[in-house]
Structure 1
Amino acid sequence: MTAHTTGPATTTPLTDAKAGPRTAPADPRPRFRHLLAAEWIALRSLRSTHWVLWAGALLVSGINVNSALSNVRWLSDMPAPPPGLEQDTRPEFLFDPLTSAFTTPAWQILMVIAGSLGAMAVFGEYTTGQIRTTFAAVPDRRAVVAAKAAVLAGVTLVLGTAVTAVSFGVTQWILRDHDGLSVTSPGALRAVAASALLAPLCALVGLALGAVIRHAAGSVAAVVGVLVLLPTLFLGETYRWVKEIGNAMPFNAWNALVENPARDHAPQKYPVSLTEAWTVFGVWALVAVLVAVAVTDRRDV
């Protein structure tokens, strides 16, 4: 009988596949361009955004155009000047066509619209609770507010530019037979630029007020009070400090920037210079963004 012997079992070693180069995990943090896209979607999704922008643009442009038409009728109905009246003292030479494009009521309305839009961009998210979701996805609150400010400034700059272009172009065409101006006329380009930039400036101020107050009615009331009503309290020239405070207000700075240098204006005791007026624009915009960032970063949601 033959015995069968079994040799030791052989095992085949398992070989790992050659490991390829490892790729670093994707950075989960959203980039700033993603925040810009998200804020644009959030602003566009607000139902009030569209009708506020369209209604505001039509209302402001309509007021300015109506002013130009009224001035044309007034100038056309003026009686012939008496003999001997100096040429530069006749009504048509005292009339400033630039004022028809930049009437005070129209641009005060634009300030309120832009400021309210900025406030709505903040208190709308707090009211719905969406802000909690936003900060849960993006813990960097400062980046979120910076993106929101950039989107607001861009949208309202388009609004301000469109309204300014229509107001200036149409009103000066209406006044073409009464010394209507072109954009190359003295002071015209400065007035156009200041009026276009007024809207994003007010939107950023509204953003800051909305971040501080976080209430719909309170934020809009604060926008009206700070941007429109407060400057009227500092128009007197009895005390220099009162006038200096008034000169530091965005609305009064805008008034200085849209003045026609080719026309005589009532002398002021403490006038604001053009450099100071532009500085007011820049400082208010910067401070508004810093306030919105600081308040949002430090306060609980």
Structure 2
Amino acid sequence: MNAPASVRHLAPPEVPARFRHLLRSEWIKLRSLRSTPYVLGPGGLVVTGICVNAARSNADRLDRGPRPGPGPDPGAAADADSGLPAFAFDALGTAFVDPAWQLLMVLAACLGAAALSGEYATGLARTTFAAVPDRRSVVAAKAVVVTAVLLVFGACVALTSFAATQALLRDHGGLSLSDPGAARAVVASALLAPVCGLVGMAAGALVRHAAGAAVTVIGVLLLLPALFQGDTYRWVRETGHLLPLDAWATLVHDPALPVTEKYPATAAEAWTVLGAWGVLGLAVAMAAVHHRDV
């Protein structure tokens, strides 16, 4: 008598990971990072607070002294009654103070770097790439999530900073979004965060260490532009225009004010530079992750 044939239980066929699954996974990872709530919460409040403080200071100064008068150099004029100098006032620039938005650049870049370097530091990258061998799809999904989160973050900070500062300056030439250059400045400031986040991802893919990636992005985004200031040599200044900080500064400049630079960049060139840095950051991150071992 023959023994009954054993029944073999076949495992269900493995379903390949789709891009939407990768997006969900990367969102969970980014949300789980300890640095994410600090960048999106206190970090945004600090950036906005610096701009609001600048607007309040300027409003108080304008209340005590004369309003800026016309002329090529109103800062040189002085009021005989109050003894306070009349100064050239940039209402749009008050909403986008350089130190505040440089801080935003660092925060966004460090968040983008942590999204990659954190996986290498914890060893999670091995598990991720074992489950999804197509590393470029993983990086693309991570870039989409980082870009979307930082775009919302940048837009919220830019709109809040603009609205709060111009409300404080409503009696001193405060602007609205319909004024020339205002919408452009808000959009450029909102886009600055995801662009820096992609640059941070590239640094995280190359360095694979949180501290090293942070130093790298600070050097590239903040220290490198300092080497290309001044207008003694045209090639030096035009090289500086190829950096994201200079491109952003060009776009937030009030078109109603005169341009004091000897070799200024155009708005079209500045938009191109911002877009190119985002694409370059993504390309470097993909290439580094694809060609280097875990």
Q: Which runs of 5+ in 2 are unaligned?
A: 1-11, 78-84
- Assess, with a 3 A threshold, how the Cα gap between structure 1 residues 209 and 271 changes in structure 2: closer, same or farther: same
- Assess, with a 3 A threshold, how the Cα gap between structure 1 residues 86 and 270 changes in structure 2: closer, same or farther: closer
Partner of 2:81: none
Where does 1:130-145 land on structure 2 (aligned, <5 Å)? 130-145=124-139
Alignment of 1:293 onto 2:280:
no
Corresponding letter in the other structure for 1:203: G
Distance in 2, matches of 1:96 and 1:148, equals 38
Partner of 1:214: 208
Alpha-carbon offset, residue 113 of structure 1: 0.1
Q: Which runs of 5+ in 1 are unaligned?
A: 1-24
Distance in 2, matches of 1:213 and 1:157, equals 24
- Assess, with a 3 A threshold, how the Cα gap between structure 1 residues 34 and 72 changes in structure 2: closer, same or farther: same
Alpha-carbon offset, residue 140 of structure 1: 0.3
Alpha-carbon offset, residue 79 of structure 1: 4.7
Alpha-carbon offset, residue 27 of structure 1: 6.3
Alignment of 1:77 onto 2:64:
yes
Alpha-carbon offset, residue 92 of structure 1: 6.9
Partner of 1:35: 22
Alignment of 1:121 onto 2:115:
yes
- Assess, with a 3 A threshold, how the Cα gap between structure 1 residues 287 and 80 changes in structure 2: closer, same or farther: closer
Identity %: 57
Q: What RMSD over aligned residues (CA atoms) do the two structures have, in Å?
A: 1.8
Partner of 1:244: 238
Partner of 2:35: 48
User: Residues 87 and 93 of structure 1 are in contact (CA less than 8 Å); yes or no, is this contact kept in structure 2?
Assistant: no
Where does 1:53-202 land on structure 2 (aligned, <5 Å)? 53-79=40-66, 89=74, 94-202=88-196
Distance in 2, matches of 1:135 and 1:28, equals 16
Bigger shift: residues 237-246 or 166-175:
237-246
Distance in 1, matches of 2:217 and 2:228, equals 17
Alpha-carbon offset, residue 215 of structure 1: 1.0
User: Larger Cα Rg: Structure 1 or Structure 2?
Assistant: 1
Distance in 2, matches of 1:80 and 1:243, equals 33
Partner of 1:284: 277
Tell me the TM-score normalised to structure 1 length.
0.87
Alpha-carbon offset, residue 28 of structure 1: 2.0
User: Residues 191 and 258 of structure 1 are in contact (CA less than 8 Å); yes or no, is this contact kept in structure 2?
Assistant: yes
Distance in 1, matches of 2:276 and 2:173, equals 35
Number of aligned pairs?
Answer: 273
Alpha-carbon offset, residue 263 of structure 1: 1.7
Distance in 2, matches of 1:71 and 1:92, equals 12
Corresponding letter in the other structure for 1:103: V
User: Residues 145 and 293 of structure 1 are in contact (CA less than 8 Å); yes or no, is this contact kept in structure 2?
Assistant: yes
